[in-house]
Structure 1
């Protein structure tokens, strides 16, 4: 009589994702969240400039704030389990973009809180400044330790090293004018340097199709410097940035097929914040020159809301299904 053989479970596949939703949280979820914050603030501005219903902007900002807090907790849980996961994520381009967007979103979260809770807005803003500075240090470390080709200037450098310019959107209403002027003066030369180096690189080698959506990030500093210029009272400079931004938008629209040639990917998150920032720029400059900026801002905001919502929804769906972490090569703990 033969002894029955014990039933053996099949070996676990090597690439099986670990149990626990948070263990592979990718930083790529944060660029669309940054864009959604911008859309909410643009609708808040549209309520003033165009008489749009106030509840639209506040509802969007409330929902995005909850999403941001949830995403932040999910990523923090991963880092608490293995702190080096943050360093690993900084080694890859989507990780660096997401890390910078994660901390930059704190600036817009602070701007969201300003009308409701001044102390909370101040705490979040300071936390954002410290977090963004810490993220910049981690990214510099990753660039120095990585291969030389990784140190090529990319549009993501705007997010990492110029992203502080988002802070005055909250800092000026809080009365922190000195800090805002310092940020403006120190980040503008960095942005100009990145634009010039990027232009030279583009003329020499172009950009591979999968990375072309990142080119849209170049538009974000144009919008932000225009917004902050008006906030600080530099109205002529703000108006100039408004016209530069309008010209840039037309160039991007004419090259839309070029930018999207490789099809949808998580890097489309790079489109979201520039689109939202442009709408905010139009409404800010409209305070000085209503025509044509007020009209352009209204049209672009409606279209940007649809586009940004679509991209954010697609990225969040990929996160929930677990495919986003694999595609962006996020660290797993």
Structure 2
């Protein structure tokens, strides 16, 4: 007797959903504004101040500087509103942004841009500029304390010194750009002395790390930040009336710049990324420093550097802000969402 074979049960095909898209659409306005928008804005503010420095020389083009600064101040105000919409909804999102390196660099640049904005508006509204400087210094101190606590509580491998430390712990050196013209020379000299000590410690720690291990290609761009403190020390020393000190720091900044240019192919090996914002402000700062600290040769060197910054900084800002407009920048930099 033969048995009729039972029909096999029908197997339904399993559904494997596609991976989430790189561009994520979050509900609401500005719920994932990335802090990475601020380093290129900081570079544009530094570029405008470099043009203003050149305008102080005979034959300078003052309207060019003020036009750049006016446009970038509006851009920065828009970016500031767009980012602050996040912590106004949920304050803890700031801690989440600080958990990643692009977030730490971006938030530090956001605060430092306020100090640069104060220097930009100082000729027109000294009282407002002083208020902005005070707010910027308080915000920078709070940010540095928060980052320090997060690093101490985090894993040990995450406590390494990075060039971003200059932004957080040496960034106070931007305040004398406003304080010295307003008559606060003594306070500016104290800030100069303290930040030189901190920057020296960061430089030495970074040199030691660079001698023992090679940074990964995407993070090499951050080494350009080492140029900014030396440039600002030269600028502040010149404004404070220390020409010999200014020349020393100006030559140091020039040496760092030459080393960076010589290793340019190695620094840019990973191609374009939002971290290119780290190139912008140091280049503009070195242009200003050369003009103020190195005499007549420095004026020519600074002009060349300023022309280079006039090409690089807007390009980087356009690329980064385009990524933001397309919704890609937040995903590329792991920005937090509210």
* Structure-2-length-normalised TM-score: 0.92
Matched with 1:5 is none
- The residue that corresponds to 1:312 in the other structure is 317
Q: Aligned partners of 1:258 and 1:13: how far apart in 2? A: 33
1:299 aligns with 2:307: no
Please list the CA deviations of residues 180-227 of structure 1 after superposition, one character each: whole Å capped at 9, or x if unmatched.
112111111110000001001000002110000000000000000111
Q: Distance in 2 between matches of 1:265 and 1:20?
A: 27
Q: What whole-Å deviation, never above 9, does each CA across 1:124-152 have from its counterpart, x for those lacking one?
A: 11111111111111111221122111110
| Distance in 2 (alpha carbons) for counterparts of 1:50 and 1:310 | 29
Q: Does 2:32 align with 1:24? A: yes
CA distance in 1, matches of 2:91, 2:19: 26
Change (3 A) 1:84 1:13: farther
Kindly report the root-mean-square deviation, in angstroms, between the aligned alpha carbons of the 2 structures.
1.5
Larger Rg computed on CA atoms: 2
Inter-partner Cα distance in structure 1 for 2:96 and 2:177 = 31
1:259-298 correspondence runs (5 A):
259-286=267-294, 289-290=295-296, 292-298=297-303
State the match for 1:6 in structure 2: none
Structure 1: which 5+ residue stretches go unaligned?
1-10
Distance 1:321 1:195 in 2: 37
Normalized per residue, the structure richer in helix is: 1
Pick one of 117, 127, 130 that aligns with 2:135. Answer: 127
Q: Secondary structure at the match of 1:23?
A: coil
CA distance in 2 between partners of 1:157 and 1:112 (Å): 24
User: Match of 2:31, SS?
Assistant: helix
Aligned residue pairs: how many?
320
Q: Is the 8 A contact 1:91 1:146 kept in 2?
A: no
Q: Which runs of 4+ in 1 moved over 6 A?
A: 11-15
CA separation in 2, counterparts of 1:53 and 1:188?
33
Residue 194 (structure 2) pairs with residue 189 (structure 1): no
Q: Which whole-Å deviations, capped at 9, do the CAs of 1:159-195 have from their partners, x for residues lacking one?
A: 0101111111111111112221121111111100000
Q: How does 1:1-333 map to 2 (within 5 A)?
A: 16-49=24-57, 51-286=59-294, 289-290=295-296, 292-333=297-338
SS at structure 2 position matched to 1:24: coil
State the distance in 2 between where 1:221 and 1:302 align. 21
Distance 1:178 1:85 in 2: 38
Distance in 2 separating the partners of 1:88 and 1:128? 21
